Amino acid sequence: MGSLPQRGLNEKLAEILAIAQKMNSERELGPLLDLIAREATTLLDCDRASIFLLDRERGELWSKVALGSDDILRFDATAGIAGRAVMTGEAVNVMDAYSDPRFYTGIDDQTGYRTRNVLAVAVRNQADEIIGAFEVLNKRIGVFTARDEEALLALASHAANAIETAQLIGELRRSQDELAQQNANLMREVESKYTSHGIIGAGPKIQQVVRLIERIRDSVVNVLITGESGTGKELTAKAIHYTSPRARKPFVALNCAALPETLVESELFGIEKGVATGVNPRVGHFQKADGGTLFLDEIGDLSLTAQAKILRVLQERVVEKVGGRAPVPVDVRLLAATNRDLEAEIAKGSFREDLYYRIKVIHIHLPPLRDIREEVPVLANHFLNEYCRETGRDGLEFAPAVLRKLTASPWPGNVRQLRNEVMRLAACARGRMILEEDLWEGLPGPREAASTGLGAFAAAPVMVKDARPKSLKDAIEQLEREMIGEALASTKNNQQQAARMLGLSRQGLINKMKRYELG
Ligand SMILES: Nc1ncnc2c1ncn2[C@@H]1O[C@H](COP(=O)(O)OP(=O)(O)O)[C@@H](O)[C@H]1O
Ligand SMILES: [Mg+2]
């Protein structure tokens, strides 16, 4: 140090600023505390320095035992010289430690160090809250002075900033790690749900689908999935995505039928910012799916204009945003689904043939449930197990008669309707066994399906068994409707055969179908 007091002070300040800079570039709490301690011993020409941080919840001060060590020392926040500085907010300068009653010998006992003199100041953050104490031990020559006290205070206030930043970064990092962990867990869950495909069915028709998915798992060909509503098209699309090398990239689904013509372009391709005031920029579905899979559901419902635009994206692998200047490259695998007969649409001129061949490199057709009745019991049990797992209720079972009845039902809403029905039955089940009488009211007859549309059953309020038909006439009507529905379903709508099964003439059957609005 210089002999002129002023020069000494300026030098100290410059040194403190240099240390502050070093501290601010250290983002890890452990190494930061080491750095602060090291610099303080040089600055104050002493033997040791420690930062004690206040753990308000536990009412404790803690610090690292020694430079470079990860061992932590903890003690009561009111104990010792450091505790004193924290409690009073004042600097404490002890010239002879062992003759001062405030000195807490416990730390020397633990560390085997012999403290002669101590200077401690409170560490305050920018909000002027005390977050700990800064303590230096054993001045090399003499004892700590008022000048040392000033220097230590200045250093402490810089240290406080750096410490709080490092703590914040540590917390952020920890919560980021936690999120990453959760994400990985969810990913595994999703994967395990779909790597077994989640597609249930032991018969040849479903197994053929499962095998096909396995065969194309490593390729990126476009796939067209056809089938009635509720037959598992979306499930199949997810299975394809999650078994492919794209599994960790996004799976983005868009229902084209629900898209008004005016929104098609902006939904698919996005809107550049600054197109017009009042128009928000938007990322299109193609871009959202970049690197992953875009599932265009009900693709048969797209207008010819929209079809032409999608064809262009598939050919050129770029999208043009609404109001965008430069085309944006995208890498998207397209899976498309429809319940329409696209070849018939092509014949009518409402679907582009060139697009059809682009999206139908592989074609998967999912059969309606009435064509794979043998799968009904397996599926029904699968959904019942799913219900039990999700609600924590266990051991629900179908009576054999119930399974027989479910198997014979027409299921116009296919697997989706079966699933809804099983969930409803499970929710209403009074005992462990789901009985035929539980089924009576709710079992979908073809009339509801015909007159209220496929989704209606899903939304139908839960029916309880007590909601019986009001009169004998109603009951007979209901029975007739059911029996006709079953007969039609089991004969694949062959009216002649169904009439014979029911003991009616063909005309008699047709009359009843008219009356009940069936078929
Ligand atoms: N083979 C199957 N195995 C298991 N669940 C199925 C199967 N087929 C369909 N599902 C279930 O039925 C419901 C409807 O399927 P979804 O894929 O949405 O049909 P779609 O897209 O053809 O309308 C979903 O809950 C789906 O998980
Ligand atoms: Mg669907």
Q: For position 193, what pLDDT does the model report?
A: 63
Residue 63: which H helix or E strand, with range? strand 60-64
- Predicted confidence (pLDDT) at residue 89 exceeds the cutoff of 60: yes
- Cβ partners under 8 Å of residue 240, min gap 6: 213, 216, 217, 223, 293, 335
Q: Is 232 in the pocket of ligand 1 (CB under 6 A)?
A: yes
- Beta-bridge partner residues of 60: 55, 76
- Any atom of ligand 1 within 6 Å of the Cβ of 83: no
Q: Is the dihedral of CA 297, 453, 230, 187 positive or negative?
A: positive
Whether pLDDT at 144 is above 60: yes
Residue 460 has pLDDT above 60, yes or no: no
Q: Looking at residue 137, what is its pLDDT?
A: 94
Which pLDDT does position 455 carry in this prediction?
35
Per-residue pLDDT of 242-294, as tens digits, reads 989 999 899 999 999 888 888 888 899 998 877 666 677 889 999 999 999 99
The response to whether residue 197 sits with its C-beta less than 6 Å from ligand 1 reads: no
> What is the number of the ligand 1 atom nearest to the C-alpha of 235?
17
Taking 80 as the threshold, does the pLDDT of residue 442 lie above it? no
pLDDT of residue 448: 42
Task: Round the average pLDDT of the chain to a whole number and report it.
Answer: 86
The arithmetic mean of pLDDT across residues 142-167, rounded, is 93
pLDDT digits (tens, 9 = 90+) for 5-18: 566 667 888 889 89
Quick one: average pLDDT of 459-467? Answer: 35
Mutate to test the pocket of ligand 1, among 297, 335, 416, 454 (most ligand atoms within 8 A of CB): 416
Q: Does 418 contact ligand 1 (Cβ within 6 A)?
A: no
The token pair at 477 is: 């009507």
Structure tokens at 341: 């007969």
Is residue 464 very low, low, confident or very high in pLDDT (cuts 50, 70, 90)?
very low
Look at residue 438 and tell me whether its pLDDT is greater than 60: yes
- The arithmetic mean of pLDDT across residues 473-479, rounded, is 76
Percent of residues, the chain, with pLDDT higher than 90: 54
Q: Which atom of ligand 1 is nearest to the CA of 227?
A: 22
Q: Rounded to an integer, what is the distance from CA 278 to the centroid of its chain?
A: 31
Residue 353: pLDDT band (50, 70, 90) is very high
CA of 256 to the centre of ligand 1 (A): 18
pLDDT at 191: 62
Contacts of 144 (CB under 8 A, 6+ apart): 44, 46, 93, 95, 117, 118, 119, 136
Conformational region of residue 93, where left means phi above 0, alpha means psi within -120 to 50, and beta covers everything else: beta
372 lines ligand 1 (CB under 6 A): no
Asked whether 231 lines ligand 1 (CB < 6 A), one says yes
- Closest atom of ligand 1 relative to the 232 alpha carbon: 17
First to last CA, the chain: 103
Determine the average pLDDT of the residues in 21-40. 91
232: alpha, beta or left, given left = phi > 0 and alpha = psi -120 to 50? left
Ligand 1 atom 8, closest CA: 232
Which ligand has the minimum distance to the alpha carbon of residue 230?
1
Closest ligand 1 atom, residue 375 Cα: 1
Residue 238 beta carbon below 6 angstroms from any ligand 1 atom: no
% of the chain at pLDDT higher than 70: 88
Query: Residue 229: nearest ligand to its CA?
Result: 1
Tens digit of pLDDT for each residue in 480-495? 888 888 888 878 888 8
Which ligand has the nearest atom to the CA of 366?
Answer: 1
Q: Which of 98-102, 148-152, 449-453, 496-500 has the lowest mean pLDDT?
A: 449-453
Task: Indicate the SS3 state at residue 401.
Answer: helix
User: Left (φ > 0), alpha (ψ -120 to 50) or beta: where does 453 sit?
Assistant: left
Which of 415, 419, 421, 423 should be mutated for ligand 1, with most atoms under 8 A from CB?
415
Q: Is the CB of 234 under 6 A from ligand 1?
A: yes
Residue with the bigger pLDDT between 501 and 173: it is 173
Query: Of ligand 1's atoms, which has the minimum distance to the CA of residue 231?
Result: 22
pLDDT at residue 468, as a whole number? 54
pLDDT for 70: 67
Average pLDDT over residues 390-402: 88
Residue 413 in contact with ligand 1 by CB distance below 6 A: no
Lowest mean pLDDT among 64-68, 404-408, 484-488: 64-68
Residue 350 has pLDDT above 90, yes or no: yes
> Which atom of ligand 1 is closest in space to residue 201's alpha carbon?
1
pLDDT tens digits for range 209-223: 999 999 998 889 999
Query: Predicted confidence band at 429 (pLDDT cuts at 50, 70, 90)?
Result: confident
At 354, the pLDDT band (50, 70, 90 cuts) reads very high
431-470 per-residue burial string, b: 16 or more CB within 10 A, e: under 16: eeebbeebbbebbbbbbbbbeeebeebeeeeeeeeeeeee
pLDDT top residue among 237 and 79: 237
pLDDT of residue 519: 65
pLDDT tens-digit readout, 303-337? 999 999 999 999 999 998 888 888 999 999 999 99
- Ligand 1 touching residue 367 (CB < 6 A): no
Lowest mean pLDDT among 39-48, 103-112, 473-482, 492-501: 473-482
Q: Is the CB of 416 under 6 A from ligand 1?
A: yes
Instruction: Report the C-alpha gap between 434 and 380 in whole angstroms.
Output: 12
Q: Whose CA is nearest to atom 23 of ligand 1?
A: 230
Q: What is the mean pLDDT of residues 470-486?
A: 77
Q: Helices then strands (H, E): number in the chain? A: 21, 17
Q: 79-93, 108-122, 185-199 — which is least confidently predicted?
A: 185-199
* CB of 229 closer than 6 angstroms to any ligand 1 atom: yes
**Ligand number with the minimum distance to the CA of 227:** 1
